[in-house]
Amino acid sequence: MKTISFTLNGAPRKVTIEDDRMLLWVLRDDLGTTGPKYGCGRALCGSCTVLVNDESVRACMTRATSIDGKSIVTIEGLAAGDQLHPIQAAFVKHAGFQCGFCTPGMILGAYSLLKKTPKPTRAHIAQAMDRHLCRCGAHVRIVDAIEEAAAVMAGGAK
Amino acid sequence: MTPPTIVPGTDGTGAMDRREFLSLTGSGLFIAFTMHPRPTRPELPAAAQQRAATDFNAFLHIGADGRVTTYVGKIEMGQGAMTSFPQLVADELNVPLASVDIVLGDTDLCPFDMGTFGSLSVRQLGPVVRAAAAEARAVLVAMAAEKLQLPAASLEVKDGVVQSRTDASKRVSYGELTAGKRIERHLEGPPPLEPVSVMTIVGRTAARRDAIEKVTGKAKYAGDIVPAGALHARIVRPPAHGAVVTKSDTAAAEAMPGVRVVRAGDLVAVLHAHRDEADKALRAVKSTVTPSANILNERSIFAHLEQKAPAGNTVASGGQLAEGEKGAKTIVEQTYLKGYVAHAPLETHSAVAEMNDGKLTVWASTQTPFPLKTAIARAVNLAPEKVRVITPYVGGGFGGKSAGAQAIEAARLTMAAGVPVRVVWERDEEFFYDTFDPAAVIKIKAGLDGAGKIVLWDYTVIGAGERGAAQGYAVANHRTHVRGGWSGNTGELHPFGIGPWRAPGANANVFARESHIDLLAAKAGIDPLEFRLKNLTDVRMKGVLQAAAAKFGYTPKAGSSGRGYGIACGTDAGTWVASIAEVKVDKATGAIEVVRIACAQDMGLVVNPDGARQQMEGCLTMGLGYTLTEEVRFANGAVLDKNFGSYAIPRFSWVPKLDTVFVDNPDKPPQGGGEPAIITMGAVVANAVFDATGARLTQLPLTRARVMQGLAKVRRE
Ligand code: FES
Ligand code: FES
């Protein structure tokens, strides 16, 4: 057992857990943060993506103990109150989802992409998002949304 | 006033009784409706009765505050039912779209519904909901006429307010009219429906209602619902279909902190509050297994199907096949194959059950909440009214969430454990217990006369069933024979479960037919679009072909032209669809790149155009999977594909440029949109590969290895 402290969506948290616990299940089961989804458990689909110190990671294959002292942001923490993050707003505008199950991971994956590559081409986006799976086939809309979010963020809007 | 409504009672049909309903809706107007009086057929078992009789029900409720609630037994799995039903209601009632709420998939609140499949939500239930709203408006106008002391004909409704056409100060709102009143109506004759031309909401794009919840993480799926004290269950499973776990030694698991072991009949499960700790406990269970006797695999399955499928029956025929053979100058025979395909929704089957005061509530990811409720009641031995199924957002279904085994497991384990139990299938359980789109063998013998007319069509489909098998071309001598369907698994024909998969059976049938049509066109030396138009009399089919060609910028050229253009068309769920694709084939690796697809649909009235486009795009994108890579590998009863590492579904880098277009037909009733466009994908790509390379591929998926074999064959010939 180990006690770890971190911030979750800005709030300080402390949990005492077994050493081999996975971040996805600590977030979902211990902390009630259900935005990150279970899709594959093997880092293959991206549904469980969260930000650790502003980097996207796959929570299903991340040891929870590794986040000690770090800052975790899940999809629940991306908007500033009622003010959607530009990526979220663009997903709404372009309907970048159908069932929505992949969406939290897609948005945080896009966040990570735009942090590294603020002005990606459509080909860049497709390449960078290729390890995020969407079974509903919302891909075209997701690329549209990320393109628009990039433009909005580059313009310093919102 | 019409006679009081007959609300379906609690006769095991999944509907609630009237008292219960009234107590739920409180004061206010509600309209209950059925398309026609429910026929009773005492000779049928209860289950069949409820299927035959009650799938047209829905409810509306108008509150004192003027807000309208629509209760629909459908579910939202991304297809947009949540958005399109309120459009229909708002338009008929003449209220703002924003004042309409919707409750979906709750068996205590919504009227019986058979399930969300077959692209039927808007097609079948849409007219019923429209009719209900139209009747509600008529009732409210009649009430307003009494209140305002004006003839009903002199009144109009604007934004939920009934007012005099000549003096807008004489007005009363729906909310004022319904306050404290409760009126029940039964639809007898057809209500006066708004003509489409005056509709202001239907036919225009409406913003998705689920958007904000889905982008902020607030959207709840079944696995996100956690009743107090709920435990995760991991269930001991056999390693293969046909294998039997004869003994489970759970001592080591039981010794782990926080773990409970629960046995319920044949279910042995380890329970823990944390999923990953339940996983660990499951790994500690030692099982003794009798192996499966099944020896089939994804290669031997086709001969097995041919041998073991039922004799079947002829579903369509005309003329004389012998005449056709006589009249044919060229006869072309070919066998087409397609493997098993998984649904693989990103959300695995999930459910949680809770027992409270003798009532079992189950939150489930399901496409069929009402049949599931009946199945759960039977499994746990409760009266149907003691079971409630609630369907939160469903993370993709595609037909695969029609069964609901996980919810029955959660219910049984909850009853056995005495605490709420959550069952969220692991991805390998999802692959193992999936009801796959069945493997299929299709044999076609077709004949051409000297003028490029098809004069013979002899078609046999084994495994895939009837949907999409009808050939639709104007052929004098034809026969369509169907051996075995996609539902059930009679006689252990398949080594595992099979079931409906987005446009069930049609993907196999349309692949075979439209490939064969292409083959005939090439034999005749005629451009494949011209060849189709020449052999079709169906005006709407010609319409979608021409619309797709215009969108694509197609110019005729007989195949194979080297351009990599492919065409395919068909009908599904009442909708006509045609696609034209352009592909590039890497002759060194066999890799197919789909560059662009233009797809045209004639689906009658399009309720929510952007929603319909999303579905078309989803179909074309998802369809890349069964076309290019998806086929389930299995051996000795074990499913070898266990996760997305080996089972490749479409990714961003595969997705072509997609152009969608509607053939406008707003006066025709709305048709299905969730499935049609996917049926063309196999053939449109295979035909494009032929056009690019001259290689005719006859087995789906069009893997690199199969492309290389096809290219080698072209070189030899
Ligand atoms: S659940 Fe973590 S990547 Fe799929
Ligand atoms: S929207 Fe359903 S998986 Fe992407």
Sheet holding B454-462, edge to edge: B313-318, B477-483, B454-462, B440-448, B330-338, B699-700
Q: pLDDT value at position A152?
A: 96
CA distance linking residue B581 with residue B283, whole number of Å: 48
Mean pLDDT across the stretch B569-578? 95
| CB of B416 closer than 8 Å to CB of B263 | yes
| Rg, Å, chain A Cα set | 15
Report CA B206 to chain centroid distance, whole Å. 22
More confident residue, B339 or B69: B339
Pick the CATH number of A86-153 from 1.10.1270.20, 3.40.50.300, 1.10.150.120, 3.40.50.10860: 1.10.150.120
β-pair type (A71-73, A2-8):
parallel
pLDDT for the residue B185: 54
CA distance B87 to chain A (A): 17
Mean pLDDT of B517-536: 98
Decide whether any atom of ligand 1 lies within 6 Å of the A77 Cβ. no
Q: How far is CA B661 from CA B568, B583, B610, in A?
A: 15, 20, 11
Among A71, A70, A74, which residue's Cα sits nearest to residue A32? A74
Return the pLDDT at B596: 98
Looking only at the bridges linking them, the beta strands covering B592-602 and B657-662 are parallel
CATH 1.10.150.120 domain residues, chain A? 86-153
> Which atom belonging to ligand 2 lies closest to the Cα atom of B395?
2
- Could you give the CA distance from residue B580 to residue B557 in angstroms, rounded to a whole number? 14
User: Which pLDDT score, from 0 to 100, does residue B490 have?
Assistant: 65
| Identity of the amino acid at B655 | V
Question: How much is the average pLDDT of B447-460?
Answer: 97
**Contact, A57 vs A50, CB < 8 A?**
yes
Contact A44 B645 (CB under 8 A): yes
- Closest atom of ligand 1 to A38 CA is 1
* Greater pLDDT, B311 or B670: B311
Kindly list the residues from chain B whose CB atom is less than 8 angstroms away from the CB atom of residue A91: 211, 214-215
What tokens does B117 get?
């499949």
For the cut 50, the answer to whether the pLDDT of residue B34 exceeds it is no
Q: Nearest CA of chain B to the CA of A73: how many Å?
A: 12
Tokens of A15: 């949990």
CA angle A140, A143, A148 (to 5 degrees): 125
Query: Per the omega criterion (within 30 degrees of 0), is the bond before B287 cis?
Result: no
- pLDDT of A12 over the 50 cut: yes
Model confidence at B629, pLDDT cuts 50, 70, 90, reads very high
Residue B11 clears pLDDT 50, i.e. is over it: no
- Mean pLDDT, residues A88-93: 98
B96 min Cα distance to partner chain A (Å): 21
Is pLDDT larger for residue B613 or for residue B126?
Answer: B613
Query: What is the pLDDT at residue B198?
Result: 77
Residue for token pair 């909440």: B369
Q: Per DSSP, what are the bridge partners of residue B356?
A: B359
CATH topology for B18-212? Aldehyde Oxidoreductase; domain 4 (3.30.365)
- Amino acid in position B675: E
Q: Measure the CA–CA gap between B361 and B301, rounded to whole angstroms.
A: 41
In chain B, residues with a C-beta closer than 8 Å to the C-beta of A140 are 617, 621, 655, 658
Instruction: State residue B339's pLDDT score.
Output: 97
Nearest Cα residue to A90 out of A74, A77, A106, A71: A106
Start-to-end CA distance of chain A, whole Å, equals: 43
Site residues for ligand 2, CB cut-off 6 Å: A 97-102, 134-136, 138; B 78, 346, 396
Say yes or no to pLDDT of B553 above 90. yes
CB contact at 8 A, B305 and B338: no
Cβ–Cβ of A101/B221 closer than 8 Å?
yes
What the block records as the tokens of B587 is: 């002759």
Residues B443 and B412: beta-carbon distance below 8 Å: no
Residue with tokens 């999930």: B350
Distance CA B623, CA B625 (A): 5
Tokens encoding B269: 């499960």
> Does residue A36 contact residue A59 with C-beta atoms inside 8 Å?
yes
Strand ranges for B74-181 from DSSP E? 100-104, 155-158, 161-164, 171-173
Residue B589: DSSP 8-state? T
- Of all residues in chain B, the percent with pLDDT exceeding 90 is 72
- What's the half-sphere exposure (Cβ side, CA atoms, 13 Å) at B50? 20
Atom of ligand 2 nearest to the CA of A100: 1
- What one-character DSSP code corresponds to residue B200? S
Q: Is A28 in the pocket of ligand 1 (CB under 6 A)?
A: no
Distance CA B164, CA B148 (A): 9
Q: What is the dihedral of CA B108, B113, B115, B116, to 10 degrees?
A: -100
How many CA within 13 A on the CB side of residue B409? 26
Amino acid residing at B116: T
Q: Is the CB of A40 under 6 A from ligand 1?
A: yes
Q: H or E segment at B601?
A: strand B592-602
Mutate to test the interface with B, among A44, A94, A101 (most CBs of B within 10 A): A101
Domain range A2-77, CATH architecture: Roll (3.10)
CA dist B678 and A2 (Å) reads 51
**CB-count exposure of residue A7 (10 Å: 0-12, 13-18, 19+):** middle
- Over 80: is that where the pLDDT of B438 sits? yes
Q: How many CA atoms lie within 13 A of B227 on its CB side?
A: 21
Instruction: Report whether B675 contacts B573 (CB < 8 A).
Output: yes
CB-based contact B556:B567 (threshold 8 Å): no
* Average pLDDT of the residues of chain B: 88
The pLDDT assigned to B59 comes to: 62
pLDDT tens across B365-393, in order? Answer: 999 999 999 999 999 999 999 999 999 99
Pocket test for ligand 2, best of B221, B346, B614 (most atoms within 8 A of CB): B346
Topology (CATH) of B301-340+436-716? Aldehyde Oxidoreductase; domain 4 (3.30.365)
- Whether B54 shows a pLDDT value over 60: the answer reads no
Distance CA B484, CA B506 (A): 14
The mean per-residue pLDDT over the stretch B125-137 comes to 82
Residue B184 has pLDDT above 60, yes or no: no
Q: CB under 8 Å to B105, separation ≥6 — which residues?
A: B72, B73, B74, B75, B76, B116, B366, B369, B389, B390, B391
Helix or strand holding residue B216 (H, E) = helix B211-216
- Which pLDDT value is given to residue B296? 96
Q: How far apart are CA B550 and CA A90, in angstroms?
A: 31
CB contact under 8 A, B614 and A129: no
Q: Judge whether B685 and B583 are in contact, CB under 8 Å.
A: yes
Across chain A, what does the average pLDDT equal?
96
B56: Cβ contacts below 8 Å, ≥ 6 apart: B34, B35, B36, B124, B125, B128
Segment B704-713 mean pLDDT: 98
CB neighbours of B116 closer than 8 A, spacing ≥ 6?
Answer: B74, B75, B77, B79, B81, B105, B367, B368, B397
Q: Where in chain A is the domain with CATH 3.10.20.30?
A: 2-77
Question: pLDDT tens digit string along B57-107?
Answer: 356 888 889 898 888 889 999 888 898 889 889 998 999 999 999 999 999
- Using left for φ > 0, alpha for ψ between -120 and 50, and beta otherwise, residue B319 falls in left
Tokens of A108: 């945080």
Where is A4: in which H helix or E strand? strand A2-8
Question: How wide is the angle at C-alpha A69 spanned by C-alphas A32 and A87, nearest 5°?
Answer: 60
Of residues B464, B405, B409, the one with CA closest to residue B436 = B464
Q: Which single residue is written with the structure tokens 């663009």?
A: A90
Q: Rounded distance, CA B549 to CA B532, Å?
A: 12
Q: How far is the CA of B42 from the centre of ligand 1 (A)?
A: 50
In this complex, do B219 and A143 lie within 8 Å of one another by their Cβ atoms?
A: no
What secondary structure letter does DSSP report for B341?
B
pLDDT at B461: 97
pLDDT on residue B173: 94
Fold of B222-291+349-424: Aldehyde Oxidoreductase; domain 4 (3.30.365)
Give the three-class secondary structure for B74: coil
B468: left (phi over 0), alpha (psi -120 to 50) or beta: left
Q: Give the residue on A whose Cα is nearest the Cα of B230.
A: A29
Measured N-to-C along each axis, helices B506-524 and B528-535 cross at an angle, to the nearest 10 degrees, of 100
